[in-house]
């Protein structure tokens, strides 16, 4: 089978032929139709992601496809089932074995391409906004990086939950995507002062930040008393330092969110969230935004789109023609 294989953090992954894996106890083997790319994939290339697998490994964190083999001890699934899986690795390949505990059956209304773009981006934003921050209707939500993979879903879900959504992104095209996802107000981070713009809007009750750096600082200063800040990631490469006395003066809360971490200590949070998200999708209330769909032999081009910030929403790599 063809797979994008990483053998060294000092050299790029290679598309190569690998043996077809056999499903072990508790595993299913998929004919992979599509794999969603994530910013974390870029961190894995140089070994800086918190859950980087041991070398060598096949790239690709989240997949959708059809079950073609079932290992011992697996119940609730059958050969031919359409499923999505957050595997953490192994997705950029024609076939892959994954834990059945991480698989979810797909509704007929969801394509493999949408499914491969769904779990991490929508799951991160829903768990962050609902479970961690308890976003309330009528609150003002400031979303940084609002046209990115997770940022765009935060705009969409925040609006669905009844918030007034302020989307911050760089450039007209990215702001158009955020507007289409439901943003009420737009801030161009390349030309406008975030703090000044938020002051005219009365400040933020909640900040959703996958960016870090200077934007975090500006958003931090834009919070209303008792505001909350969700730290989702640091796409800028700059991890901000927070002065505790500033938290004290305005009664602010900073909330961390690592979506994949819940698999280890409270997986029911993720399963409950995903059930809600799939219901919303079936009802036509969520619309995954995939800006680029590329074949497997262009997977490195897809990663470069993320690195250069030339994509909006998600980039998906298709493995089979029916994705």
**What are the tens digits of pLDDT across the range 132-151?**
999 999 999 999 999 999 99
Q: How much is the pLDDT for 320?
A: 86
Write the DSSP assignment of 152-176 as a string of letters. HHHHHHHHHTT-EEEEEESSHHHHH
Q: What CATH number has the domain bearing residue 185?
A: 3.90.180.10
Q: Residue 26 falls within a domain, yes or no?
A: yes
Q: Note whether 101 and 212 are same-domain residues.
A: no
User: How much is the pTM?
Assistant: 0.91
Q: How much is the pLDDT for 179?
A: 97
Q: Residue 274 falls within a domain, yes or no?
A: no
221 has a pLDDT exceeding 80: yes
Q: Residue 265 falls within a domain, yes or no?
A: no
Identify which of 159, 147, 229 has the alpha carbon closest to the alpha carbon of residue 189: 147
**What are the tens digits of pLDDT across the range 259-294?**
989 988 999 999 899 999 999 999 999 999 999 999
DSSP H or E stretch at residue 206: strand 204-209
Q: Note whether 111 and 125 are same-domain residues.
A: no
Neighbour count for residue 253 (Cβ, 10 Å)? 13
Q: Helices 119-126 & 151-160, crossing angle to 10 degrees?
A: 50
Q: Note whether 56 and 150 are same-domain residues.
A: no
Q: Residue 269 falls within a domain, yes or no?
A: no
Q: Note whether 13 and 77 are same-domain residues.
A: yes
Q: How much is the pLDDT for 321?
A: 73
DSSP-based three-state secondary structure for 277: helix
Q: Note whether 32 and 126 are same-domain residues.
A: no
Residue 204, phi then psi, degrees to nearest 5: -110, 135
Which residues make beta-bridge pairs with 99?
A: 27
Q: Note whether 127 and 113 are same-domain residues.
A: no
Tokens of 196: 């000044």
157 has a pLDDT exceeding 90: yes
Q: Note whether 85 and 179 are same-domain residues.
A: no
Q: Residue 178 falls within a domain, yes or no?
A: yes
Tokens of 36: 């969603």
Better pLDDT: 323 or 96: 96
Structural domain of residue 66, as residue ranges?
2-118+288-318
Q: Note whether 90 and 53 are same-domain residues.
A: yes
Angle subtended at Cα 92 by Cα 129 and Cα 104, rounded to the nearest 5 degrees: 50
Q: Note whether 181 and 203 are same-domain residues.
A: yes
Q: Residue 282 falls within a domain, yes or no?
A: no
Q: Return left, alpha or beta for 219; rule: phi > 0 is left, psi -120 to 50 is alpha, else beta.
A: alpha
Better pLDDT: 124 or 237: 124
Boundary-marking domain end, from 240, 260, 280: 260
Q: Note whether 84 and 132 are same-domain residues.
A: no
Q: Note whether 135 and 252 are same-domain residues.
A: yes
Q: How many Cα atoms within 13 Å fall on the side-chain side of residue 99?
A: 8
Domain total in the chain: 2
Greatest distance between any 2 Cα atoms in the chain: 60
Boundary-marking domain end, from 213, 241, 260: 260
Q: Residue 270 falls within a domain, yes or no?
A: no
Q: How much is the pLDDT for 194?
A: 97
Q: What is the band of 239 on the pLDDT scale with cuts at 50, 70, 90?
A: very high
Q: Residue 279 falls within a domain, yes or no?
A: no
Q: How much is the pLDDT for 109?
A: 87
Residue 147, phi then psi, degrees to nearest 5: -110, 5
Q: Note whether 251 and 125 are same-domain residues.
A: yes
């Amino acid at each position: 089978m063809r797979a994008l294989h990483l053998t060294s953090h000092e050299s790029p992954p290679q598309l190569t032929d690998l043996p077809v894996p056999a499903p072990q106890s508790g595993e299913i083997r998929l004919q992979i139709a599509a794999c969603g790319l994530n910013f974390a994939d870029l961190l894995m290339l140089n070994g800086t992601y918190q859950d980087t697998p041991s070398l060598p490994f096949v790239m690709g964190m989240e997949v959708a496809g059809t079950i073609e083999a079932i290992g011992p001890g697996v119940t609730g699934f059958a050969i031919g089932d359409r499923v999505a899986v957050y595997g953490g690795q192994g997705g950029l390949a024609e076939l892959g074995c994954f834990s059945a505990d991480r698989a979810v059956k797909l509704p007929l209304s969801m394509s493999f391409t949408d499914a491969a773009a769904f779990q991490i981006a929508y799951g991160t934003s829903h768990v962050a906004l609902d479970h961690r921050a308890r976003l309330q209707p009528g609150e003002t939500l400031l979303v940084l990086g609002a046209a990115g993979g997770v940022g765009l879903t935060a705009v969409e879900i925040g609006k669905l939950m009844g918030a007034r959504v302020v989307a911050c992104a760089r450039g007209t095209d990215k702001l158009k995507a955020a507007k289409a996802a439901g943003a009420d107000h737009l801030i161009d981070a390349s030309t406008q002062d975030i703090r000044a713009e938020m002051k005219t809007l009365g400040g933020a009750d909640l900040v959703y930040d996958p960016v870090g750096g200077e934007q975090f600082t500006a958003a931090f200063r834009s919070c209303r008393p008792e505001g909350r800040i969700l730290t989702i990631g640091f796409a800028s490469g700059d991890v901000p330092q927070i002065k505790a006395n500033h938290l004290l003066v305005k009664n602010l809360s900073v909330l961390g969110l690592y979506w994949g971490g819940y698999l280890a200590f409270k997986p029911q949070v993720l399963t409950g969230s995903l059930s809600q998200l799939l219901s919303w999708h079936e009802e036509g209330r969520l619309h995954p935004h995939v800006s680029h769909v590329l074949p497997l032999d262009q997977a490195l081009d897809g990663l470069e789109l993320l690195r250069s910030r030339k994509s909006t929403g998600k980039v998906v790599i298709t493995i089979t023609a029916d994705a």
